[in-house]
Chains A and B, each alone.
Chain A
Amino acid sequence: MGDALPLLLKGFETTLLATVLGTLLAAVLGLVVAVLGRAPTRLVTVPVRAVTEFVRSTPMLVQLVGAYAIFNTVEPLVIGVAVLGIHYASYVSEVYRAGIDAVPKGQWEACRALSMSPRRTWQAVVLPQAVRNVLPALGNYGISMFKETPYLAVITVPEMVSQAREYGATHFVYAEMFTLAGLIFLAASYPTSLLMRKLEKRLGH
């Protein structure tokens, strides 16, 4: 049992890596989706909305296994991060969208009156106001993504739970390993969610 913990922690590293990369991807992709959703033509907004709605309403496990089977030459961790990122981008984009909607109309009009280019309007006026409120929500999505990384075990990524399962199966300590893995999740996610709650309060949500 002595060598179990180092193995779990090694898996935990992979879990964290996938979570951090997935959150970053979701943050960037979500912003792109939210801005595209504001495009002046329905040719862009309707397909974008349809795709996000579809991604959001279908199970991530199926998306993951599907992507793994279809892109079978790509590294599993890359597929895992991509699916996590894309799936969560569909949620995060809603947060950005709400943030963008909350920017007063007068700000847009002022930009027009100053004859700013659309690019400058977004960059200098709208996004700085919209993105500020996204941070706590992004943190919360990061925490729930962290708790969904065990899905990656299904596509052979050696994250914490797959390490626990493998070790448990060879040494007949299945129950102990799964209990330990659960406690590690709790130990990591609970303090983080307390921190996020504090951050939310400070930003006045």
Chain B
Amino acid sequence: MGDFSSYFFGHLSEVWSGLAVTLEATVLGAAVALVLSFAFGFMANSGSVLARGVSRAIVEFFRGTSLYVQLFWFFYAFPLFFQYQLTPLFCGVLAFGMNYGAYGSEVVRGALNAVPKAQWEAAVALNMTPFQRMRRVILPQAWVQMIPPFTNLLIQLVKCTPLLWLIQAADLTTVVELMRTRTGETTSAYLTLLMLYFVLAYALTLLMNALERHAKSRLGQRSGARSLLRSRSAESTRAAGVTGGAR
């Protein structure tokens, strides 16, 4: 253990740069996923058969083919088809964003449907435009419901980022792997790496808890300060139901 930890703390700047790549892929991937979630989620709820069909097809395609295959397709097959090589990080952001966007769209769809029908009707009765209805009545209520399953998807996304190592992006796993080969300390290297991901996942969970509390307080619902420190365990089964197979 001694060897590895002294090497690790002696080369912290490398760890930071790896962590930065991992975080970059996470944040950008999550941003793409969020946009796609809403786009496909709204399309799945729209009145037009065409929009519903397109959304269904895209969502099922990205949920049905493995993320691993999608990522490798973007990295290895895309250049052969289109004569253009994407950077590893860009491939990651694209694959993570599309894959989790597909899962997220189910969350958005479910949450929109979960807002009581009377709320939609009341908004219509008040002569609100469809945009006002969404913006002022439906979305604030649906958003609160979306956050816990979104948190789960975000953690799943973080847990997929080590795939970047396989397409030669210099992410956290790549950096610690290099340290492992240099020091030859397998067990402590991997334990350290797992701990780093654990801390990262927990930090993101806390952030999302704060977001949920904020969204709830806007609806006049109070949640105790203890809810901020909650881990995801209690929510994961519910999310499994909502996302239909996302872990």
A residues neighboring B (CB under 8 Å) = 49, 52-54, 56-63, 65-66, 69-70, 88, 91, 94-95, 97-98, 137, 140-141, 143-144, 147-151, 154, 161, 165, 168, 174-176, 178-179, 181-183, 185-186, 189-190, 193, 196-197, 200, 205
Q: Is the interface of A mostly helix, strand, loop or mixed?
A: helix
B residues neighboring A (CB under 8 Å) = 60-61, 63-70, 72-73, 76-78, 80-81, 155, 158-163, 165-166, 173, 180, 186-187, 190-191, 193-194, 197-198, 201-202, 231-233, 236-237, 240-241, 244-247
Q: How far is the CA of A168 from the CA of B162 in the complex (A)?
A: 23
Q: How far is the CA of A31 from the CA of B65 in the complex (A)?
A: 29
With contacts A148-B68, A175-B81, A190-B64 taken as known, whether A57 is within 8 angstroms of B202 at the C-beta atoms is yes
Question: Across the interface, do B73 and A182 meet the contact criterion of CB distance under 8 Å?
Answer: yes
Q: Which residue on B lies nearest to A87, using beta carbons?
A: B247
Q: How far is the CA of A146 from the CA of B160 in the complex (A)?
A: 15
Residues of A within 8 A of B67 (CB): 147-148
Question: Across the interface, do A174 and B80 meet the contact criterion of CB distance under 8 Å?
Answer: yes
Q: How far is the CA of A5 from the CA of B80 in the complex (A)?
A: 21
Question: Across the interface, do B69 and A182 meet the contact criterion of CB distance under 8 Å?
Answer: yes
Question: Across the interface, do A63 and B66 meet the contact criterion of CB distance under 8 Å?
Answer: no
Question: Across the interface, do B247 and A141 meet the contact criterion of CB distance under 8 Å?
Answer: yes
Q: How far is the CA of A42 from the CA of B173 in the complex (A)?
A: 34
Residues of B within 8 A of A181 (CB): 69
Question: Across the interface, do B72 and A147 meet the contact criterion of CB distance under 8 Å?
Answer: no
Question: Across the interface, do B72 and A94 meet the contact criterion of CB distance under 8 Å?
Answer: no
With contacts A58-B201, A62-B190 taken as known, whether A197 is within 8 angstroms of B64 at the C-beta atoms is no
Residues of B within 8 A of A141 (CB): 240, 245, 247
With contacts A69-B190, A178-B73 taken as known, whether A150 is within 8 angstroms of B197 at the C-beta atoms is no
Q: Identify which of B66, B166, B236, B241 contacts A56 (C-beta below 8 A).
A: B236
Between A and B, 13 residue pairs with Cβ closer than 8 Å are A59-B160, A63-B194, A70-B187, A70-B190, A94-B233, A97-B237, A141-B240, A148-B67, A150-B68, A175-B80, A175-B81, A185-B64, A189-B65
Residues of B within 8 A of A65 (CB): 190
Residues of B within 8 A of A66 (CB): 186-187, 190-191, 193-194
Residues of B within 8 A of A56 (CB): 232-233, 236
Q: How far is the CB of A33 from chain B (nearest CB, A)?
A: 12
Question: Across the interface, do A62 and B76 meet the contact criterion of CB distance under 8 Å?
Answer: no
Residues of B within 8 A of A63 (CB): 194
Additional A-B contacts beyond A59-B161, A200-B241 (14; CB < 8 A): A54-B194, A58-B194, A59-B173, A62-B173, A66-B187, A66-B193, A70-B187, A147-B65, A147-B67, A150-B69, A154-B166, A178-B77, A183-B65, A185-B65
